[in-house]
Structure 1
Amino acid sequence: MTRFGYTLMTEQSGPRELVEYAQRAEAAGFDFEASSDHYFPWLESQGHSPYAWGVLAAVSQVTERVELMTYVTCPTTRYHPAVVAQKAATLQLLSDGRFTLGLGSGENLNEHVVGEGWPSVAVRQDMLEEAVRIIRELLTGEQTTFDGQWFRVDSARVWDAPDGGVPIGIAVSGDESVSRFAELADHMITTMPDADLIASWDRLHPGGSSRKIGQVPISWDPDKDTAIARAHDQFRWSGLGWDVNAELPMPAGFEAATESVRPEDVAETIACGPDLDALAESVKPFLEAGFTDIAFVQIGDEAQEQFLEEAAAPLLERVRELAGA
């Protein structure tokens, strides 16, 4: 059965608001909640970027049912993998086993802040693989020493390690990353509804099938023009593609790169407006590709309360009907 989630978009809301939205999203019927993990917003108009792990810790205490996850954390530059392991273990305990650690190779936008430079794609993938191995070992609760090419760990131990560890999802974008990470991950995370990529993952993943987790932006509003304007103002960066999104270092770069993008261009790729059937249709490519988990991103902080109050539950009814069909 396909599960549908709500995205805690740290780039567009403050920490207290995110915790409130998490409560409301659970009440509306979402199955899981995925938090972005940023240091900067994509665009200045989004205006926020609180610490995702603090938000998730608070969310774990005000929700009871929904699963939680990072979508996604980079464990190689801004965070050392030994620290990520400790954070993930703590959050798994706070949430009573509801947490999945989503990992990826990161974006310059968020990782440059520690002044260590921004490696090439090949190096980032090498670093991620090494980091995942360290995190897995530490989540066993055993004392760990590791001397790798990119990271060292000296007699570390996660003292509060949850029984069974923490499930790990890894973000992939093509056959090369699938080949590298299918055996290291419990679950697959990707942004494009690519059925071939999912088939490759299932062939290579130990034991066969696993969860495939994707994300779909929407811009619900009672007024379609308002919905389109909001999506253009705050989400036009998404059309650049991840090859670009991973490399630009500051929101000003995304402003410059998207200055020629028109509202009608955004409306062609993001479902906008009050028509819940049209919004639901935007998940069909992911359903057809074989995704098991799909998280909605409702664009714009100013729209969250009304979306969760008026539109979320009937939207979930529609997408579950689509998934069942």
Structure 2
Amino acid sequence: MVSLGYFLSCEEFGPKELVRQAKQAADAGFERLWISDHYHPWNSEQGQSAFVWSVIGALSEAVPGMPVTTAVTCPTVRIHPAVLAQAAATAAVQLDGRFVLGVGSGEALNEHILGDPWPSADVRLEMLEEAVEVIRQLHRGGSHNHHGKHYTVENARVYTLPEQPVPIYVSAFGKKAVEVAARIGDGYVSVMPNADLVRAYRDAGGKGPAQGGFKVCHAPTAEEGLETAHRIWPNEGLPGELAQVLPQPEHFEQATQLVTKDMLSLPTGPDPEPYLEQVKAFADAGFDEVHVAQIGPRQDEFFQFWRDKVAPQLPK
């Protein structure tokens, strides 16, 4: 059976609410946490942008013992990888080694804010690979210099380090990105229960765990849940590379006017069966860990529903 975690959304909830949800997740039997890393929400309806590293510090005290993964951090443009190496090391110390740095090639939505150009997908993967190299260098301890194609580091040393280097899992949705994930990552991250991608990761030499995640909207009726999901997260229905290239929440609001409710595919409503089926889809696809995110304000009802109706039916 896969290990089940809860997915905390920094785009939809403020920092204190995220910590509260983490406590509820632990009480409901979830074993681990994902947490998103965004500078902007996808749209104004979500309306939050908590700084993930501050929240992780609070989580380390609020839910001691729960592993935490960033899902995912972009270490290439908005924050220099040498700074993220320090942030990740501190998080791992706070969490007693139960921290995973999930990384990806990012979105213009979060990374354009300093005025840097937004590179093509191939260049972003190249930058990601070099950024991971910088982070790994600094996590080995000692002073380091790096003069690469995209990053320069001079006489940098991270003094506060965990006992073991921080594991780095890589998000990937296409064939080339999956090959990069297998080459540089300690694990694989995806939000699609796609067995072909997991198989490609393994075939390319990826040996670490595969982490997945999906959104749900528990509500009194399936229709109400779908209405809430469509109001808050219509960007889940955007096709292709739009999510990577649109730079502002307003642009996502414009684009998602074309997203209808029937274009969203996620468990909603009071019946546990769709939730169980989605967990099974990720398990059957080869994922080792699966994280669930409840959309909207009915957080308390969701955790009770999961504890009472879904968890008892999960395979032991």
TM-score range, shorter chain: over 0.9
Bigger CA drift: 238-247 or 31-40? 238-247
Alignment of 1:225 onto 2:214: no
2:132 maps to 1:132 = yes
The 5 A counterparts of 1:102-251 are: 102-205=102-205, 209-241=207-239, 243-251=241-249
- State the alpha-carbon separation in 2 of the partners of residues 120 and 39 from structure 1: 20
Alpha-carbon separation, structure 2, partners of 1:114 and 1:308: 39
Q: TM-score, normalised by structure 2?
A: 0.96
The answer to whether 1:293 aligns with 2:264 is: no
**In 1: Cα distance, 2:258 partner to 2:179 partner:** 37
Q: Deviations over 1:145-186 (max 9, x none)?
A: 000000000010010111111111001112212222312110
Q: 2:303 aligns with which of 304, 308, 311?
A: 308
RMSD in angstroms over aligned alpha carbons? 1.5
Is the CA contact 1:4–1:316 (under 8 Å) kept in the aligned structure 2?
no
TM-score by length of 1: 0.93
Indicate how the Cα distance of structure 1 residues 122 and 314 shifts in structure 2: closer, same or farther if over 3 A, else same: same
Which has the higher mean CA deviation after the structures are superposed, 158-167 or 208-217?
208-217
Q: Which runs of 5+ in 1 are unaligned?
A: none
Deviation at 1:312, TM superposition (A): 4.2
Is 275-284 or 108-117 further displaced after alignment?
Answer: 275-284
- The aligned residue for residue 270 of structure 2 is 274
CA distance in 1, matches of 2:41, 2:94: 27
Distance 1:92 1:37 in 2: 16
Structure 2: stretches of 5+ with no match in the other structure:
none
Q: Deviations over 1:245-287 (max 9, x none)?
A: 1111111111111113222332xx1111011122221223212
Counterpart code for 2:112: H
1:17-28 aligned at under 5 Å gives the runs: 17-28=17-28
**How far, CA to CA, are the matches of 1:272 and 1:280 in structure 2?**
12
What's the offset of the Cα at 1:202?
Answer: 1.4
Is contact 1:221-1:273 (8 Å) kept?
yes
Q: How many pairs are equivalent?
A: 316
Which whole-Å CA distance do the structure 2 matches of 1:236 and 1:312 have between them? 27
Report if the CA contact (8 A) 1:138-1:158 is conserved. Answer: yes
User: Identity across aligned pairs (percent)?
Assistant: 39
Distance 2:143 2:4 in 1: 37
Residue 44 of structure 1 aligns to a residue in which SS?
coil
| AA aligned opposite 2:267 | A
Counterpart of 2:44? 44
